């Protein structure tokens, strides 16, 4: 009884929804519907706020800024952030439109970008072997190749010079490697570090040195250069368990892990501050897909699984542990029944898939 009273008194977790651009809007709308249904079925409440920041109409009305200057302060009080996708190349260059996302990841120390990729019954893959795949890429998310360090001089002239520097700190590398080691211990006990130390003798060699200094007892450790790793993702993806990579390498590898396991549209992502000092950010791996935006055919499953991970992350705030699992199970069942969008081998649209998953919760 006392526990019940405490639960009733606790405030509902506050979630900021940032649909963004293109199919980011389509899959966020679908996720809001799904979460409303999950709340009624599993008896919990979320306080949701939707922000209309985007790279077209919002930016046009705000001097070209795709999100407010004080976005970090606005979002800080929330328990979690859910992002659809940002980017609309017809309106603005991608390096401007992606800026708010990178700002959140860095300002909130969301250093572990966790991106699972697995095969599903009912979803065809391009792989001949058909072996089941179940891997998770942990992408360093706060520094590396995506810090804004560099510059351009003599712009537009034949003498133009562009410098773009990657920054790898021992602290940053160590914390994401520790996260990967723990994840491997909780999964199948295998960690692959991806570098390119044969060509990048400072930054990438330091990654390998830092790993060598850490306690990896109880797990099998493997180091691969990123080019070889790309080949192995295609040749034998079933051999991977936990993969840790720098910001750029992890970004590239997770489009590939999505594609080899069925479709990029199925893949979730969590940008975590494991210390919980800042809000974490949940988003599908895919982008705004202008080629299919507004057509009602975007696969919402990557967004649904990101929402499931968000609910599990919010367990300390009172979300029932079963709610995220129920979404996962409903997704698996509907994929197995071929209730999926075209990219995943089905014939349904975004809203039919949403209804099919909701029926199974």
Residues forming the site for ligand NAI (CB under 6 A): 23, 85-87, 89, 94, 97-98, 101, 264-265, 283, 286-292, 298-299, 302, 341, 343
8 Å CB contact between 220 and 191: yes
Q: What does 320 interact with, of ligand NAI, Mg ion, none (CB < 5 to 8 A by kind)?
A: none
Q: Give min distance, CB of 19 to ligand NAI, in A.
A: 11
Asked if 251 touches Mg ion (CB under 5 A), the answer is yes
For residues 280-309, which are near Mg ion according to CB under 5 A? none
Distance (Å, rounded) from C-alpha 118 to C-alpha 114? 13
Q: 117 or 358, CB closer to Mg ion?
A: 117
Q: 79 or 251, CB closer to Mg ion?
A: 251
8 Å CB contact between 83 and 303: no
Q: What does 85 interact with, of Mg ion, ligand NAI, none (CB < 5 to 8 A by kind)?
A: ligand NAI
Q: Give min distance, CB of 296 to ligand NAI, in A.
A: 11
Asked if 343 touches Mg ion (CB under 5 A), the answer is no
Tokens standing for 347?
A: 């014939």
Q: Give min distance, CB of 308 to ligand NAI, in A.
A: 16
Q: 191 or 266, CB closer to ligand NAI?
A: 266
Q: What does 251 interact with, of Mg ion, ligand NAI, none (CB < 5 to 8 A by kind)?
A: Mg ion
Q: What does 23 interact with, of ligand NAI, Mg ion, none (CB < 5 to 8 A by kind)?
A: ligand NAI
Q: 205 or 259, CB closer to ligand NAI?
A: 259
Instruction: Report CA Rg, the chain.
Output: 20
Cβ partners under 8 Å of residue 113, min gap 6: 105, 138, 139, 140, 141, 250, 269, 270, 271, 272
Cβ partners under 8 Å of residue 199, min gap 6: none
Q: 246 or 341, CB closer to ligand NAI?
A: 341
Tokens standing for 295?
A: 């057509």
Burial string for 60-88 (b: 16+ CB within 10 Å, else e) reads eeeeebbbeeebbeebeebbbbbbbbbbb
Distance (Å, rounded) from C-alpha 354 to C-alpha 350? 6
**Residue in 305, 330, 325 with CA at minimum distance from that of residue 315:** 325
Q: Give min distance, CB of 257 to Mg ion, in A.
A: 11
Q: Give min distance, CB of 248 to ligand NAI, in A.
A: 13
Q: 219 or 266, CB closer to Mg ion?
A: 266
- Residues near Mg ion (CB under 5 A) are 251
């Amino acid at each position: 009884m006392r526990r019940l009273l405490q639960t009733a008194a606790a405030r509902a977790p506050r979630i900021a929804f940032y649909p963004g651009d293109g199919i980011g809007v389509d899959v966020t709308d679908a996720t809001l519907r799904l979460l409303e249904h999950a709340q009624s079925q599993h008896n919990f409440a979320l306080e949701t706020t939707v922000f209309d920041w985007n790279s077209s109409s919002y930016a046009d009305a705000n001097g070209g800024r795709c999100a407010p200057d004080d976005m970090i302060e606005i979002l800080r009080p929330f328990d979690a952030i859910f992002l659809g996708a940002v980017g609309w190349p017809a309106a603005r260059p991608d390096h401007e439109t992606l800026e708010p996302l990178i700002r959140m990841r860095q300002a909130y120390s969301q250093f572990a970008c966790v991106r699972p990729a697995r095969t599903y019954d009912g979803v065809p893959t391009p792989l001949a072997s058909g072996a089941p795949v179940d891997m998770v890429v942990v992408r360093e998310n706060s520094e590396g190749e995506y810090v804004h360090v560099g510059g351009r001089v003599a712009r537009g002239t034949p003498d133009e010079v562009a410098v773009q520097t990657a920054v790898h700190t021992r602290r940053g590398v160590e914390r994401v490697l520790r996260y990967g080691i723990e994840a491997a211990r909780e999964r199948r006990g295998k960690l692959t570090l991806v570098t390119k130390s044969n060509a990048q003798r400072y930054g990438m060699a330091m990654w390998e040195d830092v790993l060598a200094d850490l306690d990896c007892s109880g797990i099998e450790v493997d180091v691969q250069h990123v080019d070889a790793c790309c080949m192995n993702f295609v040749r034998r993806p079933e051999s991977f368990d936990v993969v840790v990579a720098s910001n750029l390498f992890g970004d590239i590898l997770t489009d590939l892990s999505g594609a080899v396991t069925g479709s990029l549209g199925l893949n979730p992502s969590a940008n975590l501050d494991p210390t919980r000092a800042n809000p974490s950010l949940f988003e599908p791996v895919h982008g705004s897909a202008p080629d299919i935006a507004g057509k009602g055919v975007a696969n919402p499953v990557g967004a649904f699984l990101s929402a499931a991970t968000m609910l599990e992350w919010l367990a300390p705030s009172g979300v029932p542990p079963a709610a995220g699992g129920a979404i996962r199970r409903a997704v698996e069942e509907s994929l197995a029944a071929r209730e999926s969008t075209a990219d995943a081998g089905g014939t349904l649209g975004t809203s039919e898939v949403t209804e099919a998953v909701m029926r199974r919760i």
